[in-house]
Structure 1
C-alpha cells in the first residue's frame, strides 16, 4: 500500500469550474496541447519540474485549466511515483470525472494512494456500475475500508454487485432504473417522472413491471412524450423485450445489443425480477474491451497495457514464450530426423523456412477469422463443417497460387524436381494450416476455453512441424535425396 495523499473534505466533492478555454473543441494547438489535441512534452516537463521543486501552487496553476479527461491523461503520462504528489497538489480537481477516465492500472494506484474517505466520496457520485469498476480490483482490505465510508444504501448496492462473477451482467449492470406499475396511464407516469427526485441520471426507456416486479413491457421516452395522458401504459408499452439474466457473460450481452439493435435492456435475477439495466454506453465499452482483449490474447501479450506492472507483464507473456519453446522442439525434432538428407542437399535448408513461414501466415489468417466468427456467434455447432469446407476451398486456391510461384522460382534456381517437391509441400502445408486455423479454435471453444488464448501456439506448432515433414518427407520419397 502506498502512502495516503492528504485529503480535503470540503473541496473534493465540488467539481472544479471549467473555463471557457477548457472545452474539448477549443483546446487545439495551444500552450498545453498540440494540433492533435495531445498534451505537449514541454507542458508535461513543466509540471514535472514544479513537482520536483515541491511548488504545489505552480502545479495547481498549470493543471487547473485542463479538462477532466486531460487531467487523467497527465496522470497516465507521469511516472508512477509522480502521480501521488500530483494528486496531492490538485486535490479538488481529483473528481469522479477524472477517476472515471483513468486507465485501469493507474486508477488502481490512485485509489490506493487516496485515503478511504476520499475514495468513498468519489464512489458516492458514481452510478453503481462505475463505482464497482472503480474498486473491484483493489485489495479486499481496501475495499472494506472504502465501503465502510459509503452510505448504507450505496454500500449495499455495490456489495450486491461484487457478489456476481466478473464480466457478467450482474457485475456490470446499473441498478438505478425507472420502473413503474402496469396500472399507470401516461399522465400518471409523466407526473411521477417530474416529481420523483431520485431518478436515474440517464435513462432511455421506462420499465413496466407487475406486482412481482417482473418486467412486462417497456415505454420509450419518445412514446411517453407523444401519447395523450389518458392512455394506459399497457396500451402503449412494447411487450416484446430482451431480458438479460444476471449471470450472462458480457460478450453475450454485447451480442444481444448488436443483434436486436438495443438502446437499453432489463437485467433479471433467477426469479425473473427486475434488478437492473444495461445501456448502450456500457456495451460500447464492452465491445472495445473484448476486441482489444482477443487481439492481445492471440499474441500472448497479456493485458498489453503500457501501465501494467512489469512483474504482471512478465508473468503473462513468459508462459506463452515457454509454451512456444516447447512446441518449437517438435519442429526441431523433425528437422533432426532428416538431418542426413539436409547435409547432402543444402538447398533443403535454404527452402525450409519459406515453407514454414507461408504455412504459419496462412494458419494465422484462418485462425483470426475463426476466432472472430466464434466471438460474434457466426461460427456455431450448426455450421462448423460448412465453415471448415469453405476454408478448405480457400486454402486450396491459396496453396495452388503460392505453389506455382515458388515451384517455378525453385526450379529455375536449383532443379526442376526440387521445384515440384516444394510446390506440392506448399499445397499440403497451406491446406493443413487452413484446417488447423479453424479446428483448433473450435476445439478450444467446445472445451469451454477461450479460443483466443492458446490457439496461436498450437496452430504455429502444427504448421511448422507439418511443413517441415511434408517438404523433407517428399524430398526423400521422390528420390531427390537419400537419408
Structure 2
C-alpha cells in the first residue's frame, strides 16, 4: 500500500488510531469510565496518574475533561495536569467554564497562558475578565503582546478586529517566487505565524492587492514574479464588520482565510476558517436559545444567571397568556352552554402555535444568514400565505370531520374547521411578518419573535373559534 493510500484509509475511517486514546474515547466523546478514573486519581492526590491518563488526549479532549468535573473541582484538576494544561486547552473550553477557571488563577499565570495563544484567542479570554483582573493581566504581559491585545480590545465587541490574528505573512508585489521562499526559510521562528494557507501580496502603501496560494508558490519556478501567479480577486474584511457578517462571507465564498483592512484599507490582520467555525457554532447556539427565551444560558452557566435570563421572558409570556385568558373570558357564557368548546379550544391554539413556530424558525434563520432580503421579502410572504392556506385546509378538513362525528354536531365541525383554517393562516403571516418587522426595527428577532407570535396565534385562535361558535351554534 502506498503512503497516500495509507493516509487516505486512516483519515476516512474517522476512528482514533492511538490505543491509549481509544481507551478514553468512544464516538469522539470521553468515556464515563475514563472520567471516573481521573476523578479517583485526583481524589487520591496522584497527580502523576492524572497526567498519565490525560497524556494521550488532544487539547480539545482535555478541555472536555475539565468541563466534565464539578465547578469546585476544576481548579484542582487544572493544577494536577501541570504542563499538560496547554494554553490551547483554554481556547477550546466552553466560555463559562474558562471564565470560572481563569478567575481562580493569579494574573501572572494567566499572562503566561496568553503568551502561548494567538492574539484572537488571547483577546477572547481577556475580554471576559473583570476590569481589575483585566488590567492586572495586561500589566503582566510582555509589552508587544500587551500592545496587540489592547489594540484589539479597542475594536467593538464581536467585530472582525476582535476576531482577527495580527500574525500573517505579506510580501511586496515586485518579489519573485525564489525571494519569497528564501524569506520564509530564513526568517526567525518567532517572526512568522506558525499556520498559514495564503500569503498576502501588498503594494507600497501596505494595501492588499492579491493572495498567493502555497500550492502555486511551491509549483512555480523561482524566477516567476509574484504578480504573475497571485490571485487578484480577494474578499477583504473591514476591521469593524460584525463577526456574523464575516462568517456569512466565509460561507458564501468558500474562504479559508481573509485579509482584514482598516479604514485606510491597509492590511492589519487576517481571519482563518477555524475561527469562523467557532463563530458559526456560537451564533447558531445563541439563535436557538433565544428562540426559546433562554438567551445565553448554557449548561455550564451559573444557576442564578440562568434563572435571571429565563425568568424575564417567562414573566413576559405570563403577560401574553393573560391577554389570551381575557379573550376566553369574553366568551365565558358561550363555553358554559357548550362544554365541547372547552374540549376543542386547546387544539386550535396548539396547532396554530406549531404552524407559527415552523414559519418563524425558518424566517429567523433566513434573516440571520442573509437569505431573506428586501428583494425577496414579498415573494417569501406570498409563499408562506400559500403554504398556510394549503396546510390550513388539510388540517381544517381533518379536525372538522373528526369533531362533527365525535360530538354528532355537523355545525360544530364547520366552526372548528373555519377557525382552524383562519388561525393557521394568521400563524403563517405572523411567523414571517413579526420577525421581519422586528429585524427592520433593529430588534433581534431571535429573542422577541416567539413571545409575540405565540400571543397572536393564541388570541386570534380563541377569538375566531369562540366568536364563530357564539354566532353559529347559539
With the length of structure 2 as denominator, give the TM-score of the two structures: 0.92
- Secondary structure of the residue aligned to 1:301 is coil
Q: Whole-Å Cα distance in 1 between the matches of residues 79 and 368 of structure 2?
A: 43
Question: Cα gap change, 1:229/1:113 in structure 2, threshold over 3 Å: closer, same or farther?
Answer: same
Match of 1:262 in 2: 255
C-alpha deviation, 1:172, in angstroms: 0.3
Q: Deviations over 1:274-324 (max 9, x none)?
A: 111111111111111111111111011122421101111111111111110
- Equivalent residue for 1:334, pick from 323, 327, 331: 327
- Secondary structure of the residue aligned to 1:219 is strand
Match of 1:93 in 2: 84
Cα contact 2:297–2:305 (8 A) shared by 1: no
Cα contact 2:423–2:461 (8 A) shared by 1: yes
Is 1:350 aligned to residue 382 of structure 2? no
Cα contact 1:29–1:37 (8 A) shared by 2: no
- Equivalent residue for 2:449, pick from 422, 433, 455: 455
Q: Larger deviation: 295-304 or 245-254?
A: 295-304
Question: Cα gap change, 1:27/1:84 in structure 2, threshold over 3 Å: closer, same or farther?
Answer: same
Match of 1:252 in 2: 245
C-alpha deviation, 1:208, in angstroms: 1.2
Match of 1:285 in 2: 278
Q: Whole-Å Cα distance in 1 between the matches of residues 173 and 91 of structure 2?
A: 36
- Equivalent residue for 1:388, pick from 381, 404, 413: 381
Q: Larger deviation: 54-63 or 379-388?
A: 54-63
- Equivalent residue for 1:203, pick from 196, 199, 205: 196
C-alpha deviation, 1:62, in angstroms: 4.4
Match of 1:214 in 2: 207
Match of 1:109 in 2: 100
| Aligned structure 1 segments of 4 or more residues deviating by more than 6 angstroms | none
Q: Whole-Å Cα distance in 2 between the matches of residues 160 and 313 of structure 1?
A: 32
Is 1:443 aligned to residue 437 of structure 2? yes
Q: Larger deviation: 361-370 or 172-181?
A: 172-181
- Equivalent residue for 2:18, pick from 12, 26, 46: 26
Q: What residue ranges of structure 1 are gaps of 5+ in the alignment?
A: 1-22
Is 1:74 aligned to residue 65 of structure 2? yes
Question: Cα gap change, 1:39/1:227 in structure 2, threshold over 3 Å: closer, same or farther?
Answer: closer
Q: Whole-Å Cα distance in 1 between the matches of residues 203 and 372 of structure 2?
A: 38
Match of 1:373 in 2: 366
Match of 1:303 in 2: 296
Alignment of 1:135-146 (within 5 A): 135-146=126-137
Match of 1:9 in 2: none
- Equivalent residue for 2:109, pick from 118, 126, 130: 118
Cα contact 1:356–1:468 (8 A) shared by 2: yes
- Secondary structure of the residue aligned to 1:306 is coil
- Equivalent residue for 2:216, pick from 212, 223, 231: 223
- Equivalent residue for 2:167, pick from 150, 156, 176: 176
C-alpha deviation, 1:49, in angstroms: 3.8
Match of 2:181 in 1: 190
Q: What residue ranges of structure 2 are gaps of 5+ in the alignment?
A: 1-14
C-alpha deviation, 1:63, in angstroms: 3.9
Q: Whole-Å Cα distance in 1 between the matches of residues 133 and 211 of structure 2?
A: 39
Q: Deviations over 1:53-98 (max 9, x none)?
A: 4444554454445443332222111111111122222222211132
Cα contact 1:180–1:206 (8 A) shared by 2: yes
Q: Whole-Å Cα distance in 1 between the matches of residues 88 and 229 of structure 2?
A: 37
- Equivalent residue for 1:319, pick from 288, 309, 312: 312
Question: Cα gap change, 1:193/1:32 in structure 2, threshold over 3 Å: closer, same or farther?
Answer: closer
Cα contact 1:28–1:36 (8 A) shared by 2: no
- Secondary structure of the residue aligned to 2:300 is coil
Q: Deviations over 1:238-257 (max 9, x none)?
A: 22211111111111111111
Is 1:419 aligned to residue 410 of structure 2? no
RMSD between superposed Cα atoms in Å: 1.8
Cα contact 2:41–2:47 (8 A) shared by 1: yes
Cα contact 1:24–1:67 (8 A) shared by 2: no
Question: Cα gap change, 1:233/1:49 in structure 2, threshold over 3 Å: closer, same or farther?
Answer: closer
Q: Deviations over 1:136-166 (max 9, x none)?
A: 2111111111121211111111111111122
Q: Whole-Å Cα distance in 2 between the matches of residues 60 and 81 of structure 1?
A: 19
- Secondary structure of the residue aligned to 1:165 is coil
For these two proteins, the number of residue pairs brought into alignment is 457
Q: Larger deviation: 93-102 or 336-345?
A: 93-102
C-alpha deviation, 1:107, in angstroms: 0.9
Q: Whole-Å Cα distance in 1 between the matches of residues 314 and 211 of structure 2?
A: 51
